[in-house]
Chain A
Amino acid sequence: MERRWTLYDPRLAWMLVAPVLLLLIFFLVLPIAVMAAYTFFTFVTAGVETSALTTANWHEFFTDSYYSGFLLKTLRVGAITALLCGVLGYFPAYFIWATTFKHKWLLLLLLIVPFWISFTIRTFSWINILGEQGVINVALPKLGIINEPLPMLYNEGAVILGMLHFLLPYMILNVYVSLEGIDRTLISAARSMGCTSAQAFREVTLPLSLPGLAAGLLLCFVLAAGSYVTPQLLGSGRDALFGNLIYDTIMGELNWPMGATLSIVLFVVLGFFAAIYTRYMGMSQIVKGLAG
């Protein structure tokens, strides 16, 4: 005799979430677990490894400054990108929130449109702006401002610019969502008590929008530090980041144990920053930002 199902039966819930749960287990949790085990495997030659356990990969990672240099450079580039995103993204978010412009939705839509345009296309389109045949290097000599084309492509600046381009919408939307959550009467109250608009902004609006800014910073930092395509297209070999290192180690050298080690390192380092963030901010802001 089967027990009757109650209205919100947990068993039914498990059945509903089963497909997604299985996908997450087999394509996310298990791969990362296996990858963690792989870091202790022995590399024999390209594409071949044995399951003889060793700490050689970790030893190599911690002693060879080549790897730590890569990691530091990646974190530096990620941090610079995130900070620039924060500074440049706050203005548009504030503007969209505060404007009395009737077609505000248009400004918001224009922020979402880049998400629809292929990331690869958005990245390579910068070659048309910065390259030797790009807008700037064709227009400026004609105007007589420069004689030689400026070498703007294939350096770290171009990589950061490209990442800024793809991350700014994330930042703006995150800050905007958190500004939208502010009770506007608080600002009127501050103003009626004699605050200048600058003071009201500094004392009320800015602190209340910090969660969105922090979520944006974390998202931009993690996505920038994990990027692969942007350094590949807009940087030279010297501007490769940790993602490129992982790709080359696995797809080029076929050194799977070392590739797994590097992936786990990146996972742990970025996870560490995310953990600090959730420790103070919780996950809810990120959720809002992603769904918004």
Chain B
Amino acid sequence: MRGTRRKQEGRWAWRLTGFVTVCVYIFMFAPIVATVVLSFNASMFGGFPMTGFSLQWYSKLMTNEAVLAAFRTSLWIALVTAAVTTAIGVVTAFALVRFEFPGKQALSTLVILPALVPETILGVGLLVLIKAIDQPRTMLLLVLGHILLAVPYVVLITQARMVGIRRVYEEAALSLGASRLSSFREITLPLLIPAVVGGALLAFTISFDNTSASLFWRPAGVETMPTQILSMLKISISPEINALGTVMILVTVGIPLLGGLILQSLTRLKRRGEPKEEMK
């Protein structure tokens, strides 16, 4: 009897866990679903009830010059940030995993700080610095700031992958006469590809999303997508903002998913072409 009661308790605990899990997932996605649904609302006001299906807010969005300009700005910044951060982040991770040098520990800690220090502090700090040396806020500053914010993630992701790649592969290539550069390009980089792509995508979304720090760093008169949304929200929530949100969700969720799918099919193709090999 006792045994069955105990088993029952276990089952109830498990059901409770499942129930809370479902609730948390609903909690996380309900507002996003509501926003997407409302973007198709025919009503003038940004809210329920639904009065009919309409795409007018999307067409209105397409003619909103301020939004389009902000979108272009954010896209450029994010692309540059992703490219540069991936390049410098990957070589840093390579050095941190493969090499021994004085100050390595300190650098490993320093490199994750931008992810831990609140953006407000990073934002104010950089502003105070350029005010102290009497420089204007420029686009370059904003991009470099975004790179700073994305670097920790790229380095950590690459480091995690790098640890699993044995150095004998590279050393074999070197001992067979390959130059350092070609050994990195031919051996290390291909093995790192998942981390490189993952890091680049993450850097892109971090930059594309960044709000708080961009509010401090953007040059006068420049709006990025998030700051544009923020200033539009100062008036009130409108169906147009919901439509804008939906477009943004499609872009920022679609790109990584697509990237992941491409990557997966690529590795599958490769595996088919090559003899099986364990990578450990």
Contacting pair B124 A260 (CB below 8 A): yes
Chain A contacts of B95 at CB under 8 A?
A: 12-13, 16-17
Contacting pair B229 A267 (CB below 8 A): no
Chain B contacts of A14 at CB under 8 A?
A: 101
Chain B's interface: helix, strand, loop or mixed, by majority? helix
Which among A53-61, A62-70, A119-127, A178-186 touches the partner chain? A119-127
Minimum-distance CB pairs A-B, first 3: A133-B47, A226-B118, A31-B125
Chain A contacts of B159 at CB under 8 A?
A: 291
In the bound complex, CA of A36 to CA of B6 (Å): 59
In the bound complex, CA of A29 to CA of B107 (Å): 12
Contacting pair B229 A121 (CB below 8 A): yes
Partner of B129, one of A34, A89, A227: A34
B156 to chain A: closest CB distance in Å? Answer: 4
Q: Could you tell me which residues of chain B, from 7 to 60, have a CB within 8 Å of some CB in chain A?
A: 9-10, 13-14, 16-18, 20-21, 24-25, 27-32, 34-35, 38, 45-49
In the bound complex, CA of A169 to CA of B100 (Å): 35
Chain B contacts of A263 at CB under 8 A?
A: 120-121, 124-125
With A133-B48, A270-B118 known as contacts, the answer to whether A118 contacts B225 (CB < 8 A) is yes
Partner of A287, one of B89, B112, B118: B112
Partner of B252, one of A27, A116, A134, A138: A116
Q: Say yes or no: is A92 at the interface (Cβ < 8 Å to chain B).
A: yes
Q: Say yes or no: is B219 at the interface (Cβ < 8 Å to chain A).
A: no
Partner of B30, one of A28, A129, A250: A129
Q: Interface size on A (CB < 8 Å)?
A: 91
Contacting pair B24 A267 (CB below 8 A): no
A245 to chain B: closest CB distance in Å? Answer: 9
Q: Nearest B residue to A133 by beta-carbon distance?
A: B47
Q: Nearest A residue to B91 by beta-carbon distance?
A: A16
Q: Say yes or no: is B151 at the interface (Cβ < 8 Å to chain A).
A: yes
With A169-B28, A228-B120 known as contacts, the answer to whether A197 contacts B248 (CB < 8 A) is no
Chain A contacts of B212 at CB under 8 A?
A: 227-229, 243
Q: Nearest A residue to B7 by beta-carbon distance?
A: A197
Mask of B186-198 contacts with A, CB within 8 angstroms, 1/0: 0000000000000
Q: Would you mind naming 21 contact pairs between A and B with Cβ atoms under 8 Å apart?
A: A8-B99, A9-B99, A16-B95, A21-B107, A23-B151, A31-B129, A34-B129, A34-B132, A92-B25, A98-B14, A116-B252, A121-B248, A124-B233, A128-B48, A138-B47, A169-B28, A223-B118, A228-B211, A228-B215, A233-B230, A286-B116
Contacting pair B24 A38 (CB below 8 A): no
Q: Nearest B residue to A136 by beta-carbon distance?
A: B48
Q: Say yes or no: is B115 at the interface (Cβ < 8 Å to chain A).
A: yes
Contacting pair A20 B120 (CB below 8 A): no
Chain A contacts of B174 at CB under 8 A?
A: 7
Chain B contacts of A115 at CB under 8 A?
A: 202, 205
Q: Say yes or no: is A290 at the interface (Cβ < 8 Å to chain B).
A: yes
Contacting pair B256 A116 (CB below 8 A): yes
With A23-B147, A116-B253, A290-B156 known as contacts, the answer to whether A28 contacts B120 (CB < 8 A) is no
Mask of B210-231 contacts with A, CB within 8 angstroms, 1/0: 0110011000000001100110
Contacting pair B245 A124 (CB below 8 A): yes
In the bound complex, CA of A107 to CA of B29 (Å): 13
A234 to chain B: closest CB distance in Å? Answer: 11
A140 to chain B: closest CB distance in Å? Answer: 11
Q: Nearest B residue to A162 by beta-carbon distance?
A: B31
Chain B contacts of A119 at CB under 8 A?
A: 209, 211, 226
Contacting pair A20 B88 (CB below 8 A): yes
Contacting pair B124 A20 (CB below 8 A): no
With A28-B113, A28-B114, A116-B205 known as contacts, the answer to whether A35 contacts B10 (CB < 8 A) is no
Most chain A beta-carbon contacts within 10 A, residue among B6, B48, B111, B153: B48
Mask of B137-165 contacts with A, CB within 8 angstroms, 1/0: 00000001101100111011101100000
Q: Say yes or no: is B83 at the interface (Cβ < 8 Å to chain A).
A: no
Q: Say yes or no: is A145 at the interface (Cβ < 8 Å to chain B).
A: no
In the bound complex, CA of A100 to CA of B10 (Å): 16
Partner of B117, one of A30, A132, A267: A267
In the bound complex, CA of A110 to CA of B257 (Å): 11
With A20-B111, A138-B49, A290-B156 known as contacts, the answer to whether A27 contacts B148 (CB < 8 A) is yes
A204 to chain B: closest CB distance in Å? Answer: 15
Contacting pair B20 A88 (CB below 8 A): yes
